[in-house]
Amino acid sequence: MSGAPALRAEGIGVRFGGVRALDDVGITLCAGEVRGLIGPNGAGKTTLFDVLSGIRRPDAGSVRLDGVDVTRHSPVRRARHGMRRTFQRQQLFGQLTVADNLLVAQEWRGGGGGLAADLLALPARRSYERARRERAGKVLADFGLDGRGDAAAGTLPVGRARMAELARAVADPPRVLLLDEPASGTTDDERRRLASAVRRLAEDEGCAVLLVEHDVAFVMELCSRVLVLDLGRVLAEGTPAEVRADRRVRDAYLGSAPG
């Protein structure tokens, strides 16, 4: 189910010395859409994620969030617009509990009323607190982590930690979610749960999701459309069936990729 464009990047170009990492790349993501980004090693997927999330400024092109030009905005400003990103390497606060990792992710909004409200535990503050705990509980359940909320995040096995990281990324509901290799290190069971949590996020909360993933079968199953990059350019774009049937994609990538 798709709605208004939540994210639009146009004419993105990035060079590293003589290497054109991205050349005139564009992508439009609508609210409620789950899109896959695939391509061989060195295709430019990470560089595009860096540009979309604000870690790298492009040499050419623009990025818009909900129609607002954010090309020169920092990652933090983009986060305030509702953009979230996960990384290939896990970034949980290992010494905090899983639940606290999710609460911290919502904390930046503040509770209103500043220090006085904190000290006096005003009713409005308590109701914010309650809403955040409820949201954290729902998200933990969605990602199969109920019963794990009190565990120190650093003690979770790899697959669970991956799920906890994704749960944290959506604890404060995102408008646009960029997932970098979300399925890596997960079991079949976790992958199924991950796929349904992402689908729910898109369909029920209208989040636009873009995911880079080497597990092509996972991408084809989960995503309504797929963008294929090769050598910094868009090689193909379409439904999973269209992309699978594209001879250039087969030659450049799918011929050698699993799934």
* Binding of ligand ATP by 42 (CB under 6 A): yes
DSSP character string of 28-53: EEETT-EEEEE-STTSSHHHHHHHHH
Structure tokens at 220: 């084809």
Please pick, from the candidates 16, 74, 94, 203, the single residue that binds ligand ATP as defined by CB under 6 A. Answer: 16
* Binding of ligand ATP by 47 (CB under 6 A): yes
Structure tokens at 178: 């960029």
* Binding of ligand ATP by 182 (CB under 6 A): no
DSSP character string of 3-25: -SEEEEEEEEEEEETTEEEEEEE
Only one of the segments 35-43, 70-78, 136-144, 157-165 lies at the binding site for ligand ATP (rule: CB under 6 A); that segment is 35-43
Please pick, from the candidates 12, 21, 179, 236, the single residue that binds ligand ATP as defined by CB under 6 A. Answer: 21
* Binding of ligand ATP by 39 (CB under 6 A): yes
* Binding of ligand ATP by 46 (CB under 6 A): yes
Cβ at position 234, least distance to ligand ATP in Å? 13
3-state secondary structure of 12: strand
Spatial contact of 131 and 119, defined as CB atoms under 8 Å apart = no
Which residues sit at the interface with ligand ATP, rule CB under 6 A? 16, 19, 21, 39, 41-47
